Amino acid sequence: RKEVEQDPGPFNVPEGATVAFNCTYSNSASQSFFWYRQDCRKEPKLLMSVYSSGNEDGRFTAQLNRASQYISLLIRDSKLSDSATYLCVVKVGAAGNKLTFGGGTRVLVKP
């Protein structure tokens, strides 16, 4: 079983619509959680950290469910520029700052 699993998609989303997807992690000792965005042939870029109480950054909302060991990302009012692969990233506290990446969920926003 992979440490961090994601639905690879693609999620085809009409412009202006809402899309949400999850990520599950297997290590219950995981302490920090992030969503990164990666465009084709580019490096990943931090989108947002995920906090226990859930957090929002503009049109993006992240949730953490420790009991079920998953995190989610919701994108409201999707823009064409939101088309990218979204990587779920987990850090296990005891391992310093080593990050474990999920396989990514591809989102395609279409006009």
Partner 1 sequence: GAVVSQHPSWVICKSGTSVKIECRSLDFQATTMFWYRQFPKQSLMLMATSNEGSKATYEQGVEKDKFLINHASLTLSTLTVTSAHPEDSSFYICSASPDTYEQYFGPGTRLTVT
For partner 1, the binding residues (CB under 8 A) are 8, 32, 41-45, 87, 96-104
**For the CA atoms of the chain, what is the radius of gyration?**
13
Question: In the complex, what is the shortest distance from the CB of residue 77 to partner 1, in angstroms, rounded to a whole number?
Answer: 27
E-assigned strand segments in the chain: 4-6, 11-14, 19-25, 30-38, 45-50, 55-57, 60-65, 70-75, 84-92, 99-101, 105-110
Question: In the complex, what is the shortest distance from the CB of residue 51 to partner 1, in angstroms, rounded to a whole number?
Answer: 14
Question: In the complex, what is the shortest distance from the CB of residue 101 to partner 1, in angstroms, rounded to a whole number?
Answer: 5
**Pick 9 or 54: Cβ nearer partner 1:** 9
Contact present, 53 and 66 (Cβ < 8 Å): no
**Pick 97 or 111: Cβ nearer partner 1:** 97
**Pick 76 or 101: Cβ nearer partner 1:** 101
